[in-house]
Chains A and B, each alone.
Chain A
Amino acid sequence: MKKLSILALFVIMVLSLVVVGCKPRQEKSEVQKIIAQAETMTLEELGRKAIEESKGKTFYGVGNSSRGKSALPKFIEYLKTLDETYTLTFEWQQPKNNKIFDQLKADSLKAKGTFAMTLIQDGNQIESKMVKTGILDTFIPKDWAKENNINRSEYTGYLALQTLNKVFMFNNKGTKTFTNCWDFVMPGEHGQFMDIDSEIVGKNFLYMLTKPEYAKNLKDAYDKLDSAKKALIDPTITAVTQDAADLKLDQNGKYALAWIKLWVESYTTVNDDGPICNNLVQASSVDQFGLLVYSKLRSVQETETVSKSNVTIAAYQNNYEGMGGYGYCHYLFVTDNSPLPWTACAFIAYMTCTVDGFEAWGKDMGGYSSNPKVARDTETRFKHLENSGDKGYTWWVENGKLVLEDPEYCSEVAFTVGAWIELLTKYTG
């Protein structure tokens, strides 16, 4: 029995190491060359290349947003206007639990991948796991660059499809008011928030707070607090001052660390933004607040105990000070071993440069196209500012002081500030 087990183990070990222990391939694909050409083309030219490449084939995409599945039929319709005989079948996958990175990594090991492109969030992991490793390539459509006044040769950022915002909102059926972003971390307050270890963009938000410009915003908001409230926060600021120095943050870094510490040690974990929204809109949720995706409010049905009017967007108050929430992007990439690189580029250009292409996201409030022209046209078509009370991307960035994700910065501090955050004791009730 023992001998048998040992022999079996040995054989399996050898076989398995052969299978799983192989190093990733070194050779580069032709995709980057195709992207370089594609970046000089108009949408129509790309469309024709796509038709040539993918007619009658199957297109596989993978993304954090399920709406890629709704955008693809529109894209096919568009290509049919160029060639009415064009056909394309497609499959859009939406993995969970951060699996998108594992899936893309596994797919990258093949000479020719399954996925043509991806729509992905979490700038930190994209930078460290996908871009630096050469798994994903950035394609910047010509029209998008033009609308954003970008010189491609100088631009090193990624291509964002849209920015989503998560904003502070509170139930207004009680007496409490939240007029400063520090109010959300005062002793005894417990905001509802998706756990930073289950939705990583939340962790990136905390990393971003330590960036000098956002740390300064926190300092400015702190300065606006009355002395009684300052006294409640000061011990925490003092306690993290040395940590801020050790982490090589600037002079306002201690305010960022203090806010992070107070937030992590006080927020109540909820599985998703949907349940947070469901909780806050109930009349009985007196004085509760949360940090959640703005667009969740769109689906609330008015009943006798549930109403959107039970909720106040903190930043929309005239006397509100400090950040109103944070913004993160859905980025678009072509896989470096894409089986249909031209089609992927055309699809990406279609989503980022046309209002029809963006419609799958644009039809609902709270998602802002990265292309100013598409953003304007989307507003004209759907009138979110008028109908839903949304104040729009520019307002959120300038007045709402949205904390915007910077993938490079997140990646830089992920194991410094990140390790410091991991040592904090999360609130458990």
Chain B
Amino acid sequence: MEIINARPISKGKLFWAKVKTFFSKPQNVILVLMGIICTFTTFAPIIAIINDTIQIHPGTIDAHLTGKTEGYTLINYIDLFTGPLAKINLWTPLLNTLILAICSCLVSIIYGGLFAFLVTRTNLKLKKYLSSIFIFPYIMPQWTLAMVWQNLFDSIAVTGTKNGLLAGLFNITMPLWWCQGLFPSILVLGLHYAPFAYILIGGIFRNMDANLEEAATILDTPKWKIMTRVTLPLIKPAILSTILLVFGSSMGSYPVPHFLRLTTLSTKYLEMNVSRAGEASILAVIMMFLGIGIMYFNQRSLKSKKSYTTVTGKSGQTSVINIGKAGKHIVAAIFFIITFFTSVFPIISFAFETFLPNPGDYSFFYTWNANNLTTKWWTTSENLTESGMYGQKGMLYNETIWRGFGGTMLVSVCSALLAGTLGTLIGYAVSKNRRSKLSSYVNGVAFLPYLMPSVAVGVAFFVLFSNEYFNLYNTYLLIIIVGTVKYIPFASRSSLNSMLQLSGEIEEAALIQGIPWHKRMLNIIIPIQKSTIISGYLLPFMTCLRELSLFMLLCVQGFILSTSLDYFDEMGLYAFSSGINLILIVTILIFNTLVNKITGASLDKGIGG
């Protein structure tokens, strides 16, 4: 009998064999690479900004209090938290930020959720029209509705600026709390983010098994009980996702509170950056930790909802609730009116604004004289003679606007391609290694930037890339990097959801046939989940087109269209800002329609398809 002496394999060889096996799987390579990239792009800016909170900045309060012009100090923390301005600079803005974020979530969930319910589960009229028009506030720049609010409700008597339409035409003046501050900011942000709630909650309503509700009805359960015990628990994950997205976004919103005169952490950051740069960075850090906090609570909530995960099978049976012969018309009419003011009226008012002789000059309404309208804001081809254009050429000839448009397209296309591709790969890799710690780490760290307020992310990247080695301020590269990092979650989440729906057998069959990974992806996986994956590209693209908070600190005005819009708007050249708004909206609609026609994907099918 021959005895084989099996030599023990050395630890080193075993280790390398394991490494080789590990990296032989494409999903592991992706996870490691994405882990490195996402770790750097997420944590490096955080650390850079934390570092900034302890640095001494010449010409600011830390230099004044320490008597030094360089070095490190904790004086910024001491002064911000315990100084005489602590209430003004920290506590009040923090409180306002939290109230704004929480209440915006409530408004968007109630409004968007109710709309989702009506569209998906009732016999409401005009569903198709209402469904398309409902997402318009999200397509438009955030401050669009804030501007509309001002134009409607401002009055000399109350806000001390100018008479809006209500005061000017009907002599109606609204109280200050209605015109400025928390209430309008909450409402405007809530309306802006309501499409999120509609997309997410609507998705679940569409696919929800109606048998459960019907069973409850047969058992004679009161309607309110069915709603609280059956329907709401089913849509809880969607509500949590909406909270996650809306809370993070509204917390870091700059334009809306700025326009509506609410002091939040993001508006305070810009105020304090002049003479209290280190303390301003602490505000950015606080915003970031609030983002991390909301993600933590969300994950805890999702873990505790295990009891609901049994409701996963699709029966394919959905019931339509009859809201009555008159009801379906009345409710549709109500939403028709509301969406008119949130979606259609802004567009009409933008278009009209570009034909006014002076910004905010509504002489035409009082006189009905066509001479009180003009096309100069579009057609003036020179800026040498003073023609009431504030030294600007008309929009059709304005190099600043068209250069900004080119820049915006470049940034949006590149960010969408990068975010979409990286996000899809992350979703794929995470779905293949669902139980590994590395995959849950990559999944979490890739999502984190989305929850961090845009202003804070912008600040952090500015600090990180403003040094003697990297000085990327005002470069498209920096804006594309930031846009990519911020919007990877759109793609990673939708990709992950779709990949989880795919049975592993499909890819395994191809693997047995010896088909290489890239071919499996391109010819099998991506085509199957095409529309969801395209949503992962579409959403970053749309969002990038009209993003301001994220990019405003990273480039000069005129570099991209949203900063040009903000610039003209602040200058009071409403014809230009309105015209740019129109250009953006038309661009988004064209792209949305094109993508919808070509691929079937659409913005209102949104995250997760």
Contact = CB atoms under 8 A, between A and B. Distances in A.
Contacts of A16: 43-44, 47-48, 51, 464
Count class of interface residues, chain B: 35 or more
B47 A299 contact: no
A21 interface: yes
A299 B575 CA distance: 13
A304 B368 CA distance: 11
A17 B467 CA distance: 11
B204 interface: no
B438 interface: yes
A8 B162 contact: no
B247 interface: no
Contact of A25 (B274, B372, B441, B468): B468
Interface string A126-167: 011100110000000000000000000000000000000000
Contacts of A276: 572
Most buried by B among A12, A25, A109, A415: A12
Given A5-B441, A268-B159, A98 B358 contact: no
A45 B275 CA distance: 41
Contact of B360 (A4, A95, A279): A279
Contacts of B571: 272, 274
A356 B191 CA distance: 52
A281 B71 CA distance: 51
Q: What band does the interface of chain A fall in when counting residues whose beta carbon is under 8 Å from B?
A: 35 or more
Nearest to B399: A69
B390 A274 contact: yes
Contacts of B357: 301, 303, 306
Given A13-B47, A304-B372, A418-B275, A274 B359 contact: yes
A411 B275 CA distance: 11
A176 to B, nearest CB: 13
B103 interface: no
Interface stretch (B22-30, B57-65, B119-127, B338-346): B57-65
A15 B464 CA distance: 11
Interface stretch (B212-220, B507-515, B553-561): B553-561
Contacts of A192: 160-161
A80 B427 CA distance: 59
A429 B180 contact: yes
A12 B47 contact: yes
A422 interface: yes
B552 interface: yes
A13 B47 CA distance: 6
B84 A423 contact: yes
B468 A97 contact: no
Given A133-B58, A299-B388, A278 B361 contact: yes
B274 A200 contact: yes
A309 interface: no
A231 interface: no
A235 interface: no
B160 A272 contact: no
B101 interface: no
Contact of B361 (A24, A128, A282): A282
Interface in B50-75: 51-52, 57-61, 63-64, 69-70
B440 interface: yes
Interface stretch (B470-478, B527-535, B590-598): B470-478
A21 B51 contact: yes
Interface stretch (A27-35, A99-107, A339-347): A99-107
B129 interface: no
Contact of B557 (A94, A306, A415, A429): A94
Nearest to A132: B58
Nearest to B58: A133
Interface in A116-133: 125, 127-129, 132-133
State the majority secondary structure of interface residues on B.
Answer: loop
Contacts of A4: 35, 437-438, 441
A22 B359 contact: no
B463 to A, nearest CB: 7
B254 to A, nearest CB: 10
Contacts of A9: 43
Given A17-B47, A102-B466, A428-B261, A23 B158 contact: no
Contact of A125 (B59, B63, B156, B569): B59
Contact of A15 (B44, B462, B557): B44
A175 interface: no
Interface string A410-429: 01001100110011000011
A96 B363 contact: no
B579 to A, nearest CB: 16
Contacts of B566: 96
Name, among B462, B467, B563, the residue most crowded by chain A CB atoms within 10 Å (CB to CB).
B467
A277 interface: yes
Interface string A62-105: 00000100000000000000000000000001111111001101
A360 to B, nearest CB: 9
B40 A12 contact: yes
A315 B64 CA distance: 38
Nearest to A24: B70
10 contacts: A4-B35, A22-B469, A94-B556, A96-B567, A109-B466, A269-B261, A299-B391, A306-B357, A306-B363, A422-B88
* 7 tightest A-B CB contacts, nearest first: A274-B572, A128-B59, A106-B466, A129-B59, A275-B572, A301-B388, A268-B160
Interface of A: 1, 4-5, 8-9, 11-13, 15-17, 19-25, 67, 93-99, 102-103, 105-107, 109-111, 114, 125, 127-129, 132-133, 190, 192, 197-198, 200, 268-279, 281-282, 284-286, 288, 298-301, 303-306, 363-364, 411, 414-415, 418-419, 422-423, 428-429
